[in-house]
Chains A and B, each alone.
Chain A
Amino acid sequence: MNGIQFDTGHFEKRMVMNETTTAGYGRRGLGAWLLSCGLLFGGLGFATTSQAEMAEGFAEGSRPAPPSAEQVEAGKRVYFTKCVWCHGVNGAGDGPGADRLWPRPRNFNAGTFKIRHTASGELPLIDVDLFQTVTHGLPGSAMPSWEGILTEDQRRDVLAFVTTELVKDRSWQDTEFEEFHVLQLEKIEPVPPTAESVKRGSELVKEMKCIECHGLEGRGDGNAFNLKDDWGFSIQPADWHKCWNFRGSRQDAYNVKNIFRTFSTGVSGTPMPSFADNTTVEDRWHIANYVNHLCERDKDVDIAGGNVTDEIATALVAAKPRAIDPLTDKPKVDFVVPSKFVEGELPADEHDERWNLVDRRIVAMGGQITHKPRNFVTRIDDVWVQSLYNETHISFMFRWDDRTKSVQKDSVDWEPYEVNLGDYGIEEQPPGGSKFADDPEHPESIAAKQTAYQVFNDGLAFQLPIKWQELPAPRKPRYFWGDEGFPVDITKWTADGELKAYQGAGWDVDFEDRDDFTEQLKVVKAEWSNGRWTVIVTRPLKGDYEEDAYIELGKYIPINFFVWDGHNGDVGRKMAVSAFYYLVLEPPIEKETYIYPTLAAIGLVLVEGWILTRRANRRKGKV
């Protein structure tokens, strides 16, 4: 039996709970109560035995044994050494670090945990779900993996403390209200990720309305601003193209089972529901396969607004996962950005076949936290870069996921070349401590601000040293807009359509316009579509040697990147920044590359002949 089933026990439990939960949880109380009443009465028509209540793929689970007092005490020692700094003394997610984090640390009090094997609304499995969360961390948030730092026993101890002392509104030992229906993930046979399955998944995400939040192409751009968690803090839908940032990815980013689990059990405390009741196990696998294959791989497959054809599905399935760096659990970063030679005109758009000549590089971005105003929350954590060049020009294609297209509407008081915007009220998030914790809509709280910033332009810039040829290696101008005596060539694109050449001479020094070079820059394409910017710009390889970076063949030219997300309040120094990369224009292959190996091979043939002759002579001599 598929279709909607009603879990009456579950709703009764909710009704009782609403009377006992904290104020933060009670926010949803009345609505949930009315809803549960309605469903309860509506559901009375169904005969509900425990077996019938269970969605497909679930089985009755067992209740964990209560931990010993010693274990709780040992866990307290772990908690107050390692966890309290973010999760707070009472486990309310209000530690000293909380207010500069987004997503915020978990508030344990209501027993709401995101990543579970248990059915919607139920407490998680301590030994499996919570243990894995502590072991592997929650990527995309500040929660790290504690494996190798805490022993297995210490991890279990701290869970004993958290689940008994800090989860205050519910209890794993509550036999009256708490039941455990566990997804049998290891026993369910997966559906192989064939092109048919992926294509079916792409249709199902539309039927199931996943795209309303996650966006037509799954970049999390569907409903970026209206989503709140149970405590009223703004949150965002997942970007399916970055599986390494899935909270439930368990340091195994491309494992489809993680997606199947999240889809089957939902993400508690968020608007992401469980789809176990209204999808078959098979359909869930199709969706999981599709979502898994959207995660960025070696080839950038255009999925045409989610209208996946057989051809697209085949290409998605054929693409190979990217290497994940075990030190960071993110895609491996290569600090060399290659540029390849093409004949004739440089590509006019992203569909040009010649982009396939050159690898795309992921450029990891972090918040600018060196100088004020620091950016503690970046919503853009990577940019994909590709480059091609011809005799006179070089072209860069930048593609990055940004849930919102931000174009500045209101005029601002400063000029585009100004960098010290503190005078105009652009400030960093105050540390806050725990003072905003009780009030999610406190205007000073970072989560409240996430939906309320003045909108500035999205933007992207890259910086090359001027006269880098004269810098004694490894000397570079400072990564942040150069320094005195070592100026940099900054090319900055903004979402209002401007592409300008500036000279930078320090992090707090206003830019100087390079108008002559600006005239030679060209925005070939700048388009925001389904949660992703595609920006293609060209610039001459050479300009004025004294003012503009000369780009030469076969040389390592330091380059670094800056991105602004206008809806994140990014402007001026508030942005995301990369480390130094090297731009290398790969020269065409020279003749010597063929000649010397051929000579070596001929030499080896001669040596072979000599050895054989010698051996033959020796045997003759012996005989």
Chain B
Amino acid sequence: MTWLKLVEGYMPMQMISELAVCILVFSIINYSLKRAGMGLPKFWAGIFVWCFVNLFYLKYRIYPPIPFSVRAIYGTVSACGIFMWVSGSQQEWEEFKRPIINVLDAKTGMTKFIRTALLILLPIGLWGFAYNSFLPSFDEPIELRTVHPAPPATTKVHGKTYVLQTAANPYRINPEGKYDQAYSNAHIVSQDMGRLMKDVKNPEDNPWDPNAKGYIKHVREGGEIFFQNCHFCHGDNLNGRGLWAFAFNPIPANFTDAGTIAQLQETFVFWRVAKGGIGLPGEGFPWASVMPPWEQHLTVDEIWKVIMFEYWHTGYYPRTWE
């Protein structure tokens, strides 16, 4: 059933296309039944579509699950849409209303039975629903945490003060030994699926090439540090799914997501890595994060190298000031 799996990063597209296919299939069935003279009653078709979308698709298919309040909004919107659909013309509206009126009038044995059953079941159902909502429930409280809080102007690491506006990664250098972001950007992994190194045979692209030197050699050194220290939480693919990711809350950052290091300056990452969870301002929940203050474990050089590796391995460029 792998084709049914929602793939990370492709989930919204998958969802939209799945719903589109469902609508298409439904329309085809509806149309052909109509051609065959067995058209679905609007009443039942409307109920079916609403139930399918709200009680099945949004509830069970979407992962991670969406909260009830959001589903309630979708439910209301889709109900409005269905009403518009069934009330396109006076005749259609009458057709839609007919089953309801029939039950209310109860002229046949069947409708009489349905009416009596509904009269009894509806209050009982309402009682149960209300009882459930009055029962005290203890769901996890929602606490909104700022993932990327405003950084300080300077940070002091291993006795030296770094100004976040002006500090630069000393290992992001071109073959001439000068700071060169364009050079390093040209030798990160490719951005297509898999995010692989550009050319395994080129010593400028392959950190493991015996002739690798300068920037790409420092990437390898950063990778070694990453795989001795960071992958336990941030994962072997830097996607925040390490061995212990499931044990911690907040969950480890996913560097392959466009919302993390890709939208941050390298110096911001340097500050976050050096100071860790405990160094966050209050809105970042410093009490809950298990992110180590890496200045306790790594040297400044090691921190710069591991950051460079993270950008190399995810194929992102650090954001710049201009």
Contacts and interface: CB of A to CB of B under 8 A. Distances in A.
A95 B131 CA distance: 59
Interface string A324-355: 01111010011110100000000000000000
Nearest to A554: B136
B194 interface: yes
B123 interface: yes
B33 interface: no
Contact of A431 (B104, B127, B228, B292): B228
Interface string B131-146: 1001110111101010
Interface string B184-198: 000001000111110
A604 B290 contact: no
Contacts of A366: 232-233, 243-244, 246-248, 290
B224 A96 contact: yes
A371 B296 contact: yes
Contact of A149 (B64, B194, B233): B194
Interface in B232-247: 232-233, 235-237, 239, 241-247
A194 to B, nearest CB: 26
Interface in A366-411: 366-367, 369-372, 374, 376, 378, 381
B140 A326 contact: no
Given A370-B290, A593-B131, A597-B130, A85 B197 contact: no
B31 interface: no
Contacts of A433: 224, 228
Contacts of A602: 123
Interface stretch (B35-43, B264-272, B275-283): B275-283
Nearest to A472: B282
Contacts of A182: none
Contacts of B229: 431
B223 A85 contact: yes
Given A336-B139, A475-B282, A579-B288, A369 B232 contact: yes
B235 A144 contact: yes
B305 interface: no
For A81, A149, A150, A600, the residue with the greatest tally of chain B CB atoms inside 10 Å of its CB is A81
A148 B8 contact: yes
A262 to B, nearest CB: 21
B5 A147 contact: yes
Given A577-B290, A600-B130, A381 B247 contact: yes
Given A144-B236, A148-B7, A474-B285, A73 B224 contact: no
A588 B174 CA distance: 69
A580 interface: yes
Contacts of A149: 194, 237, 239
B286 interface: yes
Given A77-B200, A327-B64, A334 B243 contact: no
A81 B123 contact: no
Nearest to B122: A604
A47 interface: no
Contacts of A432: 228
B73 interface: no
A337 to B, nearest CB: 10
Interface residues of A, number: 89
Contacts of A185: none
A356 interface: no
Given A82-B236, A474-B143, A604 B287 contact: no
A501 B64 CA distance: 40
Interface in B183-224: 189, 193-197, 199-200, 206-208, 223-224
A183 interface: no
B104 A600 contact: no
A81 B228 contact: no
B63 interface: yes
Contact of A579 (B189, B235, B241, B248): B248
Interface residues of B, number: 76
A205 interface: no
Nearest to A365: B247
B273 interface: no
Contacts of A604: 122-123, 126
Interface stretch (A14-22, A213-221, A608-616): A608-616
A378 B246 CA distance: 14
Interface in A127-144: 135, 142-144
B286 A147 contact: no
Contacts of B232: 142, 366-367, 369, 376
Contact of A597 (B134, B140, B208, B224): B134
A367 B290 CA distance: 10
B140 A476 contact: no
A505 interface: no
Interface stretch (A477-485, A528-536, A544-552, A564-572): A477-485
A596 B131 CA distance: 8
A586 B138 contact: yes
B172 interface: no
B123 A601 contact: yes
A556 B137 CA distance: 12
A584 B140 CA distance: 10
A112 B282 CA distance: 51
B277 A154 contact: no
Contacts of A589: 135-136
A187 interface: no
Given A335-B140, A335-B249, A381-B247, 17 more contacts: A85-B231, A99-B228, A144-B236, A151-B193, A333-B246, A366-B243, A366-B244, A366-B248, A367-B232, A367-B244, A371-B292, A431-B229, A432-B228, A473-B141, A580-B288, A586-B138, A615-B104
Interface of A: 73, 76-78, 80-82, 84-86, 89, 95-97, 99-100, 135, 142-144, 146-151, 154, 325-328, 330, 333-336, 338, 364-367, 369-372, 374, 376, 378, 381, 431-433, 473-480, 483, 486, 554, 556, 577-580, 582, 584, 586-587, 589, 592-594, 596-598, 600-602, 604-605, 608, 611-612, 615, 619
6 contacts: A371-B296, A378-B244, A433-B224, A556-B141, A579-B248, A601-B124
Interface of B: 2, 5, 7-9, 63-64, 104-105, 119, 122-124, 126-131, 134-136, 138-141, 143, 145, 189, 193-197, 199-200, 206-208, 223-224, 226-229, 231-233, 235-237, 239, 241-249, 276-278, 282, 285-288, 290-293, 296-297, 313
**10 interchain residue pairs of minimum CB distance:** A366-B244, A97-B227, A366-B247, A597-B130, A328-B246, A96-B224, A579-B249, A364-B247, A431-B228, A601-B123
